[in-house]
């Protein structure tokens, strides 16, 4: 069962296409990371899936339902990057309002989480720090007991310790409740630990969409003589290549090292950075001299 | 579920707790496997001990539960651990450990080699580089482990 | 750690959300109407006290058809003059206008921002991702607010009507029951205008979705409605079902308290003639000779009037039209929201 399916999905704002011809199939039970340059279309995609933006072209389904439909709203929680909350309310009123607005609500979870975070329920939401607001939003999102969680840079405003703790809590929900998560992130270091599915967007189009395991299995970091770097493109699909004097470092989509090249497995970080650099990701690379 | 401080979790069921070294470049699940191995060799873990619960590890380390499951499966494949459904994962046997006398003899040989290298003018970093390269070649890691058909070697994990 | 499933989202739950989220509006709008009612009550008491302490009485002659002149006592002009010193014209007229505009204030300062800000401020990205459907949320929270506004507007209208019974004597020459002040200082009118204001606020908030442009548009449209109602709508309505009557100069027959909707001249069997053209042709002589001139030219003057008994129905019709427009605006809002739920 796929948690997300999109086909030819596109969104145009006036003259620019924020998202174009987007085709994705994310299976259930994954923690999917959405990566891309600023303006690549991550927020637009997440907002369409959440049901707060209507696509201009194509279709999308979440858990098999149309985004914005009743069933989708019941089963999917989404936190926008603006962390929308009723900022002029007190925390306890925000909590009460969220409870009234939802069919399923786990009061114990919400109350315990807030007290463990030392969030004063009498304070105003708007007076909380950015990180505390993000924590509150996450609490509200998970108290709804969703099957799918959509997060747009949710941890950006959290300090490192809070970040660690929140990720840990999220992973526990994944482990215990079978929650599927799609989150956009700039912090690549977290991806290898947390993500099992990777989507890379570039200029509104999907560049990479695969499980992390299959990506790590199918790519190699090759080291070899710079002189041979040009020929390499003909032998294996090269993603990026960097020349330093006599040596070249190449990221290639292959599981076999070609003769004359030393290979080692790639890390997630190298893989993601490689694809981000090479937005076309064609078989013929643009060899770039190291700066 | 009551929220505890993460430190307390693993102590309840398992003698060890996991940690992550993000800068290492080694896949997370392998790090966990190596830590179990290391703990066994040093005697922190014995046959019959329970490994940390998956949900405790995911909470304290903020890793995907799949990763922990992968590590435990790897341990099962190596014959070190076995899962008991509904209870947890337990150490079945310690790996064959080299005897103390052999260890001492090996260390003496190594010291001799280090003295030779020092005399040849190799500094500490050079010694480490020599040793790492030799180890890599010896364990069949790197490119060789990725060749198709060497599935077993691949499961040993390519050295980073 | 199991989740509790709550029973279907319903109006009481939405009303609670309104209380949490819009406490200012929930307290402010009724507060505004009730404060106005209290002030009108106090002013009315003061005016009635003045009258009774000066041993005057007041009566609305046209209502009981008994006398043809209004009475404040025997010395009508003199007492009216003293009364005028007690109660200022502009204050009376100003109070009437202010009370009349309360509905507009409710719609403009509470109604429009309430809806528009949900879009403008991005709050809809939270609300639209909860289980409640946008439509049910909108109607379920805005509805109770509107009902509360209408209820307190009715109370204010009762106070205004009571206050106006005396205060109207201070308006120039008194006022007719057909004048706009009399029409608007009633509970029915105040409720109707409040419903229209809130419905228009809902529609503009849902379509325009930005606070300032929506407020400006509301001010323009609602202001236009206010003006249009007093000028065109009243004139149009009051000529519906009017009774034609031939003018008898000796003994004017139409009852007091009536509203003259039209006047015209006609020859027997001929078409209606614009009175202005006839007046232009009339010779500049005393009135009895003018009448003879008209008879010589076979011209009869006609009027069409509305008896006082029709006023209730016409007022009901007028307010009914406002409420009908409000209902249409609400339906249009719901339809628009369904068509354009998101960005």
Final residue of a structural domain among B91, B125, B141: B91
C63 is written with which tokens?
Answer: 């209502």
pLDDT tens digits, one per residue of A208-226:
888 888 888 889 888 888 8
Q: Tell me which fold the domain A2-214 belongs to.
A: Rossmann fold (3.40.50)
Within-domain flag for B1: no
> Strands, E, within C295-336: which ranges?
300-306
Cβ contact B62–A168 (<8 Å): yes
Same structural domain, B12 and B33 = yes
Number of domains forming the structure of chain B: 2
Distance, in angstroms, between C124 CA and closest chain A CA?
Answer: 8
A260 touching chain B per CB within 8 A: no
B56 is written with which tokens?
Answer: 């405790």
Kindly give, in sequence order, each residue whose CB lies less than 8 Å from that of residue A230, ignoring residues fewer than 6 positions away: A287
Average pLDDT score over chain B: 77
pTM over 0.90: no
Per-residue pLDDT at C339: 87
Same structural domain, B65 and B104 = no
Kindly list the residues from chain A whose CB atom is less than 8 angstroms away from the CB atom of residue B58.
168, 171-172, 174-175
Classified as helix, coil or strand, B159 is coil
A119 touching chain B per CB within 8 A: no
Within-domain flag for B46: yes
Partner residue facing A194 (CB), from B2, B27, B64: B64
ipTM of this complex = 0.85
Classified as helix, coil or strand, A129 is coil
Per-residue pLDDT at C206: 93
Final residue of a structural domain among B41, B67, B91: B91
pLDDT tens digits, one per residue of A99-116:
989 988 999 999 999 888
Please state the rounded mean pLDDT for residues C196-218.
94
Determine the Cα–Cα distance for residues B15 and B44; give it in Å rounded to an integer: 7
Per-residue pLDDT at C66: 42
Kind of pairing between the strands at A220-225 and A238-244 = unpaired
Distance, in angstroms, between A109 CA and closest chain B CA?
Answer: 8
pLDDT tens digits, one per residue of C292-330:
888 888 888 888 888 888 888 889 999 999 999 999 999
Residue-number span of the structural domain to which B147 is assigned: 100-156
Cβ contact B142–A176 (<8 Å): no
Cβ contact A89–C132 (<8 Å): no
- CA distances from residue C173 to A155, C70, C76, C83 in whole angstroms, order as listed: 72, 10, 11, 13
Least confident of A7-21, A96-110, C57-71: C57-71
Cβ contact C8–A103 (<8 Å): yes
Same structural domain, B42 and B59 = yes
Cβ contact C131–A144 (<8 Å): yes
Cβ contact C342–A54 (<8 Å): yes
Determine the Cα–Cα distance for residues C172 and C174; give it in Å rounded to an integer: 5
Cβ contact C130–A109 (<8 Å): no
Domain residue spans in chain A?
A: 2-214, 219-289
**Domain CATH for B73:** 1.10.10.10
Length of chain A: 291
End-to-end CA distance of chain C: 36
Within-domain flag for B143: yes
A83 is written with which tokens?
Answer: 């962390």
Same structural domain, B86 and B106 = no
Same structural domain, B140 and B77 = no
Same structural domain, B85 and B107 = no
Same structural domain, B49 and B119 = no
Classified as helix, coil or strand, C305 is strand
- Touching partners of B (3+ C-beta pairs < 8 Å): A
Within-domain flag for B28: yes
Please state the rounded mean pLDDT for residues A23-46.
90
Using an 8 Å Cβ cutoff, are C240 and C316 in contact? no
Domain residue spans in chain C?
A: 11-240+311-339, 259-306
Same structural domain, B76 and B10 = yes
Determine the Cα–Cα distance for residues C310 and C259; give it in Å rounded to an integer: 10
Kindly list the residues from chain C whose CB atom is less than 8 angstroms away from the CB atom of residue A77.
129
């Amino acid at each position: 069962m796929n948690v997300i399916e999109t086909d030819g999905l596109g969104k145009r704002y006036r003259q620019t296409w924020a998202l174009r011809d987007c085709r994705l199939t994310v299976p259930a039970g994954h923690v999917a990371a959405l990566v891309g340059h600023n303006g690549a279309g991550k927020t637009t995609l997440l907002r369409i899936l959440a049901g707060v933006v209507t696509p201009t072209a194509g279709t999308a389904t979440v858990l098999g339902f149309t985004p914005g439909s009743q069933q989708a709203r019941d089963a999917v929680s989404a936190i926008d990057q603006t962390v929308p909350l009723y900022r002029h309310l007190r925390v306890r009123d925000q909590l009460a309002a969220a409870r009234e607005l939802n069919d399923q609500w786990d009061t114990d979870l919400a109350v315990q989480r807030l007290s463990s975070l030392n969030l004063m329920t009498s304070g105003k939401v708007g007076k909380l720090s950015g990180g505390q607001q993000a924590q509150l939003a996450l609490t509200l999102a998970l108290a709804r007991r969703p099957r799918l969680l959509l997060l747009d840079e949710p941890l950006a405003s959290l300090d490192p310790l809070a970040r660690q703790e929140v990720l840990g809590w999220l992973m526990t929900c994944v482990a215990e409740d079978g929650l599927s998560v799609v989150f956009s992130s700039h912090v690549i270091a977290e991806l290898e630990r947390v993500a099992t599915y990777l989507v890379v967007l570039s200029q509104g189009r999907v560049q990479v969409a695969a499980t992390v395991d299959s990506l790590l299995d199918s790519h190699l970091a090759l080291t070899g003589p710079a002189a041979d770097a040009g020929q390499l493109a003909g032998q294996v699909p090269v993603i990026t290549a960097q020349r330093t004097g006599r040596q070249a470092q190449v990221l290639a989509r292959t599981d076999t090292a070609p003769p004359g090249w030393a290979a080692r497995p790639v890390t997630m970080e190298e893989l993601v950075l490689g694809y981000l650099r090479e937005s076309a990701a064609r078989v013929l690379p643009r060899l770039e001299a190291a700066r | 579920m009551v929220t505890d401080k993460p430190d307390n979790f693993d102590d309840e069921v398992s003698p060890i707790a996991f940690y992550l070294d993000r800068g290492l470049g080694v896949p997370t699940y392998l790090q966990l496997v190596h830590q179990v191995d290391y703990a066994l060799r040093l005697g922190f873990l014995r046959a019959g001990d329970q490994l940390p619960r998956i949900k405790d590890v995911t909470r304290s380390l903020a890793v995907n539960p799949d990763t922990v499951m992968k590590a435990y499966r790897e341990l099962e494949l190596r014959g070190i651990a076995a899962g008991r459904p509904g209870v947890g994962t337990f150490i079945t046997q310690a790996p064959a450990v080299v005897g103390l006398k052999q260890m001492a003899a090996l260390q003496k040989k190594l010291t001799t080699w280090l003295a030779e290298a020092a005399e040849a003018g190799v500094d500490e970093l050079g010694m480490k580089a020599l040793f790492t390269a030799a180890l890599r070649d010896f364990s069949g890691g790197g490119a060789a482990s990725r060749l198709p058909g060497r599935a077993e070697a691949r499961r040993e994990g390519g050295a980073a | 750690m199991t989740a509790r499933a709550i029973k279907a989202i319903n109006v009481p739950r939405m009303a609670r959300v309104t209380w949490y989220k819009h406490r200012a509006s929930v307290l402010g709008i009724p507060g505004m109407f009730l404060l106005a009612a209290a002030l009108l009550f106090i002013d009315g008491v003061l005016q009635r006290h003045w009258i009774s302490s000066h041993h005057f009485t007041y009566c609305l002659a046209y209502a009981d058809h008994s006398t043809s002149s209004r009475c404040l006592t025997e010395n009508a002009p003199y007492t009216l003059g003293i009364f005028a010193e007690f109660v200022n014209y502009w204050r009376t007229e100003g109070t009437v206008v202010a009370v009349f505009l309360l509905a507009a204030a409710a719609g403009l300062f509470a109604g429009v921002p309430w809806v528009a800000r949900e879009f403008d401020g991005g709050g809809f990205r939270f609300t639209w991702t909860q289980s409640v459907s946008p439509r049910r949320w909108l109607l379920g929270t805005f509805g109770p607010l509107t009902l509360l506004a209408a209820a307190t507007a009715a109370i204010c209208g009762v106070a205004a009507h009571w206050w106006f019974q005396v205060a109207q004597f201070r308006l120039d020459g008194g006022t007719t029951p057909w004048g706009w002040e009399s029409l608007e200082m009633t509970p029915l009118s105040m409720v109707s205008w409040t419903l229209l204001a809130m419905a228009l606020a809902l529609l503009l908030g849902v379509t325009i979705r930005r606070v300032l442009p929506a407020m400006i548009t509301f001010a323009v449209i609602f202001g236009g409605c206010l003006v249009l109602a007093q000028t065109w709508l009243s004139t149009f309505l009051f000529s519906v079902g009017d009774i034609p009557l031939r003018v008898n100069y000796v003994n004017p027959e139409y009852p007091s308290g009536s509203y003259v909707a039209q006047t015209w001249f006609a020859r027997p069997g001929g078409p209606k003639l614009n009175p202005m053209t006839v007046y232009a042709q009339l010779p500049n002589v005393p009135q009895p000779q003018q009448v003879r001139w008209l008879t010589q030219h076979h011209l009869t003057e006609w009027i069409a009037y509305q008896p006082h008994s029709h006023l209730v129905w016409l007022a009901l019709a007028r307010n009914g039209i406002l409420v009908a427009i409000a209902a249409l605006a609400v339906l249009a809002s719901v339809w628009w929201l369904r068509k354009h739920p998101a960005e």
